[in-house]
Chain A
């Protein structure tokens, strides 16, 4: 008995995602992922000042706010040969880490947890027992019976009011929910704690960048200045604030997020064999410790893994036209040279070509074009990007922090290393990464303070700020990692203005439709074999899709149809 089900909107994500899945005998046999919104940012960038691009592209996404600004600044700096001062790099690293920690925690509690946590079941919990469990997991000070009782009472009122708000029509009581009432209570309690805490950590962005979401960046460095003899700059009070935010972040991650993750995962070990999907992983890496050009110095390493072979990590070059290409066989665009070819972003050419059904529609034509996302490939391979890809590349490259913590997590869950290739593994990798990154923040902060102590306070490189110093034409690429995975911007500058600008973003890798050869991307591949107990309540599908932390506004884009040859630019 085969049934085609549609999930639209997929909620608790960023953007507009539609999943169509074919379910046969309680198992997903085929799946189609579609991005249903487009804005056209790249076309809008053409002709503008390259130094403004960070602000435009930052607005690609307000959830992973900052990452596009960073990629954009780097692409311009690469094109113009600008090296930023170490302090600017440290501030960028701190903002990067703060973004990761905040984003991952919000994802776990507010976007992902309700796939595993039954809010209604917690009404039956015993607050005293819940407190005992919570205290056995960590030293988090709010784990007392009174607090849990208060949370429970609050939610009871909520449910009894008949207005369930964000919890209305959830899949409560579905047999796929396996947590005891007390663990559900702990998780919901921490859902609220996380809501309180997440607005604190982003104050690091406000201190260095003026606001969050969408803090300010600057080509050539960062806009803030250090002066420990001045109230009007980043001074000791500001640095103290950053230090305490880092400390609190480490506490929250270690006492709330990671213990919850492990406790919940322990009840869902069957998900260590579901949702693995592709066998290839790609990471651009980030967090330079000796300058952006020294790729070997990145704390998050760069590389690609094929066929889950952790003994070999392939090199990745964003400028090699043979490596990254985008296809549009199933995307609502057209190419001048035919829709079957793949183009490197430097040769981008795109035109809207909507061939789908006129809204309102019930189903998309999945035989033809069915998404606003293009389909990127690395050396023709579909790749998974994200925390799991980053942790696997780091693990395979022998990063000791990652190896150690992955070992601890696998040991606590009593699962083999192959468990990483799954929905559960993806979610666990995100937690591992969060804990490591939170600690790295401390290192960057200490180095920053040491620099200032030694009189090194520069935050901006001035020599190519003035467009009169620029060459007539230049191209560059900015590679980084968004919380959701590998992110890159390609820029071409001509006569002091943007001639061509392209982004290939994480959710484009993961959420894209099939390519010309019919190869599925991550979402579609990972859904195959997923059990679906009740087609009207597809909570299992949400578990796997949410494990990728979808971000669709980024994933959809449009670039200039000039389609011209760009010469290779060498890193030197």
Chain B
């Protein structure tokens, strides 16, 4: 293809963005990609190059929440980038063509851009029943994936379904829903979450476009720039945890003061994600900020690490809760033991200080005893 394609900078210029706004966007993209603002110039240079890399987006066993999240990108320019910086050649959610005409888009891109297209996968692949649990155009998901992965320049697994199997892979996994990394025989960037945060999705794609390589990954194949920290460690409610101030019942006084949700089952201490830093929907909130614990949706097998309202992570297969307040409830996750112990010791250590703080911050000197339990 020798068609002259315009660069992102040209596109933005035509849309009325100033050079300064373009540079601001490059700064945002650099930060979003985990590079820091010092990389802005390099990013700008990348975006000034010509060409829109072809992108193929496959859908298998999913609920389309990843596609929905993808279009929630919070920077106005990001939506433009995704329309103008890439060529989204195949996406069952948005493309105009259907049936044979849509399939032609897929096959043309695979043929004309062999080794050059980026493959995005939403959904897990069911390997049971000879592939009959998920077929598109009469072909099994497994077969479609194998063919599309073969000549892809990079593969991104969107969301927990493609990364780890998600809800359909929860016990007993009736369709043998499988993570795509187990089927393609080449490296996959896992971007888990149910769904992943929109700006994280945009940044992962941007990262590849800018540097011609994927971001650094953790042991589960997740980009460290977004999955390197526990939600708990970056949570604005962390001081309440350290101070032993907890929500003990829904909508209690602690809930109305925004105390820590650990005792309500929050999985923040065992979940690696960007929620408490990047936040959701343009930085408006994240689950804990709106009063519900984290359910750990970026973790492998999180559905079987429940029930969600048991306040300590437990080994799967436990009965339905009866005494959630018993510490040391057959813990299956090492880190949780530390979490619980930490909570107990900080409580004891800080008790006098806490009592004082609570007294000072209460109207008319009313004391509450949440912290002194």
Bound together, the chains give a CA A539 to CA B344 distance in angstroms of 64
> A169 and B14 in contact (CB under 8 A), knowing A9-B98, A11-B97?
no
Q: Of A12, A44, A60, which contacts B95 at CB under 8 A?
A: A12
- Chain A residue numbers with a CB within 8 Å of B327 are none
> A10 and B308 in contact (CB under 8 A), knowing A40-B168, A199-B74?
no
- Chain A residue numbers with a CB within 8 Å of B76 are 196
- Chain B residue nearest in CB terms to A551: B64
**A39 B64 Cβ-Cβ under 8 A:** no
Interface residue A29 (Cβ < 8 Å from any Cβ of B): no
**B307 A206 Cβ-Cβ under 8 A:** no
**A214 B194 Cβ-Cβ under 8 A:** yes
**A114 B96 Cβ-Cβ under 8 A:** yes
**B138-150 vs A: 1/0 string, CB under 8 Å?**
1110010000000
Q: Which of B22-30, B52-60, B204-212 sits within the interface?
A: B52-60
- Chain B residue numbers with a CB within 8 Å of A495 are 320
**Residues of chain B at interface, number, CB under 8 A:** 108
- Chain A residue numbers with a CB within 8 Å of B339 are none
- Chain B residue numbers with a CB within 8 Å of A196 are 76, 79
Interface residue B368 (Cβ < 8 Å from any Cβ of A): no
Task: Find residues 54-96 in chain B having any chain A CB closer than 8 Å to their own CB.
Answer: 54, 59-69, 71-74, 76, 79, 83-84, 86-89, 91-96
- Chain B residue numbers with a CB within 8 Å of A231 are 258
**B249 A462 Cβ-Cβ under 8 A:** yes
**B285 A12 Cβ-Cβ under 8 A:** no
**A210 B288 Cβ-Cβ under 8 A:** yes
Q: Shortest distance in angstroms between A103's beta carbon and chain B's nearest beta carbon?
A: 10
**B310-351 vs A: 1/0 string, CB under 8 Å?**
000000000011100000000000000000000000000000
Bound together, the chains give a CA A216 to CA B264 distance in angstroms of 13
> A36 and B64 in contact (CB under 8 A), knowing A230-B256, A459-B251?
no
**A168 B97 Cβ-Cβ under 8 A:** yes
Q: Which of A49-57, A258-266, A374-382, A439-447 sits within the interface?
A: A49-57
**A49 B309 Cβ-Cβ under 8 A:** yes
- Chain A residue numbers with a CB within 8 Å of B79 are 195-196
Bound together, the chains give a CA A163 to CA B86 distance in angstroms of 10
**A166 B61 Cβ-Cβ under 8 A:** no
**B52 A161 Cβ-Cβ under 8 A:** yes
**A6 B132 Cβ-Cβ under 8 A:** no
- Chain A residue nearest in CB terms to B135: A36
**A59 B166 Cβ-Cβ under 8 A:** yes
- Chain B residue nearest in CB terms to A40: B174
Interface residue B272 (Cβ < 8 Å from any Cβ of A): no
Task: Find residues 108-166 in chain B having any chain A CB closer than 8 Å to their own CB.
Answer: 108, 126, 129-140, 143, 166
Task: Find residues 415-445 in chain A having any chain B CB closer than 8 Å to their own CB.
Answer: none
Interface residue A460 (Cβ < 8 Å from any Cβ of B): yes
**A202-230 vs B: 1/0 string, CB under 8 Å?**
11011111111111101011111111001
Q: Which of A61-69, A246-254, A388-396 sits within the interface?
A: A61-69
Q: Shortest distance in angstroms between A458's beta carbon and chain B's nearest beta carbon?
A: 6
> A206 and B99 in contact (CB under 8 A), knowing A169-B105, A216-B290, A352-B174?
no
Bound together, the chains give a CA A437 to CA B74 distance in angstroms of 25
Interface residue B5 (Cβ < 8 Å from any Cβ of A): yes
> A212 and B280 in contact (CB under 8 A), knowing A37-B61, A169-B97?
yes
**B249-287 vs A: 1/0 string, CB under 8 Å?**
111000111100000000000000001000011101111
- Chain A residue nearest in CB terms to B261: A223
Q: Shortest distance in angstroms between A36's beta carbon and chain B's nearest beta carbon?
A: 5
Q: Shortest distance in angstroms between A295's beta carbon and chain B's nearest beta carbon?
A: 27
**A163 B52 Cβ-Cβ under 8 A:** yes
Task: Find residues 158-203 in chain A having any chain B CB closer than 8 Å to their own CB.
Answer: 158, 161-171, 192, 195-196, 198-199, 202-203
> A10 and B72 in contact (CB under 8 A), knowing A49-B307, A154-B11?
no
- Chain B residue nearest in CB terms to A458: B251
- Chain A residue numbers with a CB within 8 Å of B250 are 218, 220-221, 223, 459-460, 462, 465
Q: Shortest distance in angstroms between A467's beta carbon and chain B's nearest beta carbon?
A: 6
**B287 A37 Cβ-Cβ under 8 A:** no
Q: Shortest distance in angstroms between B42's beta carbon and chain A's nearest beta carbon?
A: 25
Bound together, the chains give a CA A110 to CA B4 distance in angstroms of 28
Interface residue B35 (Cβ < 8 Å from any Cβ of A): no
- Chain B residue nearest in CB terms to A542: B98
Interface residue B184 (Cβ < 8 Å from any Cβ of A): no
Bound together, the chains give a CA A224 to CA B293 distance in angstroms of 11
**B307 A359 Cβ-Cβ under 8 A:** no
- Chain B residue nearest in CB terms to A220: B250
Residue contacts A-B, CB under 8 angstroms, 5 given: A8-B138, A38-B134, A39-B175, A63-B68, A216-B295
The 9 closest A-B pairs by CB, nearest first: A62-B65, A232-B258, A210-B287, A170-B96, A40-B174, A223-B292, A216-B292, A210-B290, A49-B307
Given contacts A354-B133, A496-B320, 18 further A-B contacts (CB under 8 A): A10-B99, A11-B102, A39-B133, A39-B167, A39-B177, A52-B308, A62-B66, A165-B88, A168-B95, A168-B96, A207-B284, A221-B250, A225-B256, A232-B237, A233-B291, A241-B284, A359-B138, A362-B138
Chain B interface residues toward A at CB < 8 A: 1, 3-6, 11, 14-16, 52, 54, 59-69, 71-74, 76, 79, 83-84, 86-89, 91-105, 108, 126, 129-140, 143, 166-168, 170-175, 177, 194-195, 198, 237, 249-251, 255-258, 275, 280-282, 284-292, 295, 297, 303, 306-309, 320-322
